[in-house]
Amino acid sequence: MESFGARLHRAMHERGPLCVGIDPHPALLAQWGLGDDVAGLDRFARTVVDALGDRVAVVKPQSAFFERFGSQGMAVLESTIRQLRNLGSLVLLDAKRGDIGSTVRAYASAYLDPSSPMYVDAVTASPFLGVGSLAPMFELAAEHGGGVFVLALTSNPEGASVQRARSADGRTVAQTVLDEISQLNAGAEPIGSIGAVIGATVGKTDCDLSAVNGPLLAPGLGAQGATAADLRVVFGPAVPAVLPAYSREVLGAGPDPAALRAAADRAVAECRAVLAMS
């Protein structure tokens, strides 16, 4: 089976370097004139899928905004994942799961096993029980051509006190995470399947990002304050591996499908210019 890294590399060149979130939080549902209920959630998700599913490289549903509606919300999420895959977008589920032993194996089975109704191309994961605790996710991803994006330097201000803390060997926690990811991606071509999440708002990182040899998901663009130009500041020589992520900046153009497509096209053009992709 083709690796996630290879599929992502191709999708970014064919469709453009862009990941669009599906984040149906209450304020955005209201902005679209939709109710804060399952019907509104379903209408929102279907509109985004129909507008962008056949043109955006990666779509990133935020699991929490579906989970809050219980089983009906999860049914909408399952349907959204299925529709996106049918339209050719890679699906990155933003779930930020992390645990140990049998529990993380269950998370892996839920998202990275093709027999699961929640099967996606990749999932976000938290490494703060130790990167090694995520081994079942990495193993199942490798077996089925999936990907895992591991939190390293997040865009929320609270994250710095943990992620930039230094261990006895002088490395920051974030650098330790990146070093372990690098080992997992060693020798992979054109790029590894284990990625890192590094916020576009974090400024200079003092981390060795080029050695990761995996995709670098960059949330925080648009409404959170970062611009495409900030990507070069944050990622430096590693910028060709960056997957820029926009949510409200694109979703705020809805509910008109044409406006959503135009917003996504603008984001792709801005990112292509910065990332020097043709």
CB atoms within 10 A of CB 53: 20
Q: Which two tokens stand for residue 135?
A: 């081994």
* Both structure tokens of 240: 């060709």
Tokens of 11: 């999708």
Task: Give the type of residue at 246.
Answer: Y
Out of 96, 144, 261, 272, the active site residue is 96
Task: Note if 96 is an active site residue.
Answer: yes
Tell me if 18 sits within 8 A of 268, measured CB to CB.
yes
Beta strands in the chain (DSSP E): 19-22, 58-61, 90-97, 122-125, 147-153, 194-198, 216-221, 242-246
Long-range contacts made by residues 258-264, C-beta under 8 angstroms, separation at least 24?
A: 258/51, 260/47, 260/48, 260/51, 260/52, 261/51, 261/52, 261/55, 264/18, 264/20, 264/51, 264/52, 264/55, 264/56
As a residue count, the chain comes to 278
Q: Which residue has the tokens 């820029």?
A: 244
Q: Which residues pair with 149 in a beta bridge?
A: 124, 195
Dist CA 65 CA 249 (whole Å): 17
Query: CB under 8 Å to 118, separation ≥6 — which residues?
Result: 77, 78, 81, 93, 110, 111
Angle (CA) 2 267 182, round 5°: 40
* Catalytically annotated residues: 96
